[in-house]
Amino acid sequence: MLQGRRNQIFAINFLIVMMSALTSVDSISGEISSHTIQTIASKPLRRWEIIIGKLLGQTIMLIGYVLFMAGGLILEVYLMTDYLPPNILLGLGLMILEGLIVFSITAVGGTYLSTLANGVLVFMLYGMAFAGSWVEQIGAALESETAILVGIIASLIMPTEAIWRLASDLMQPVLIRKTEMSLIVLYSKPSPAMMVYACIYIVVLVALALRQFSKRDL
């Protein structure tokens, strides 16, 4: 049962990333192309307040989604088996952090690109991160420094998969870590420093979005 729930939490994590992308990719660029943003910008609001307000609204939605989906699954397992995974709050927080990474990418992309191009960008980056993550696992298993380096570079460009692997590892029971042939745990475990990097990554991209939006012709 626990193995099946682990597969479900993996699927939920994927849905979190997809939901974050699909709900935010059109948030800025779509309103610019439709000129809806002019109505908002004409009000006594600074341009940075518009971007931050959108991000705050998206974050609240994301937190609710993660608590409902992942938190609901954890609660279901607890009611059925009286089992709670370790580091629940930290694990859920990291899943929220994944969504914030996606929001920051769509925010900066929305100020530079059209909605379609912004969507292609975020899904391309996620696909690269997903593939790079598995290349890193295989490289670690085969002791290939080149493959490991490829995975690390992909994680630095788009850290969502590294954050997910860290969350997954933290929420796994110690017994499973030691006895199951889990690629995530056995071969490559992201450093906790990746959390700090992800936060800096978000701040930098949001700052770029604010800078570009403040000078863009609406």
Q: What average pLDDT does the structure give for the chain? A: 86
DSSP string covering 66-84: HIIIIIHHHHHHHHHHS--
pLDDT digits (tens, 9 = 90+) for 12-26: 999 999 999 999 998
Average pLDDT over residues 108-126: 93
pLDDT confidence of residue 200: 97
Q: Which two tokens stand for residue 18?
A: 């997809």
- Specify the residue for token string 């959390």: 195
- Residue 174's domain spans which residues? 2-215
pLDDT band at 10 (very low <50, low <70, confident <90, very high): confident
Cα Rg of the chain (Å, integer)? 19
**Residue closest to 164 by CA, chosen among 52, 59, 66, 27:** 66
Reference 167, options 59, 51, 86; nearest CA is: 86
pTM over 0.85: yes
Domain count, the chain: 1
Residue 214 has pLDDT above 60, yes or no: yes
Tens-digit pLDDT profile for residues 21-40: 999 998 888 887 877 777 77
Q: For residue 136, how far is the Cα from the chain centroid? A: 19
Q: Residue 71 CA to chain centroid, in angstroms? A: 17
Q: Give the highest mean pLDDT range of 28-37, 175-184, 188-197.
A: 188-197
> 16-20, 122-126, 185-189: which range is least confident on average?
185-189
Q: Is the pLDDT of residue 106 over 80?
A: yes
The CA-based dihedral angle spanning residues 80, 81, 86, 91, taken in that order and rounded to the nearest 10 degrees: -30
Cβ(197)–Cβ(160) below 8 Å: no
Which value, to the nearest 10 degrees, does the dihedral of the CA atoms of residues 52, 57, 59, 60 take?
A: 140
pLDDT at 117: 93
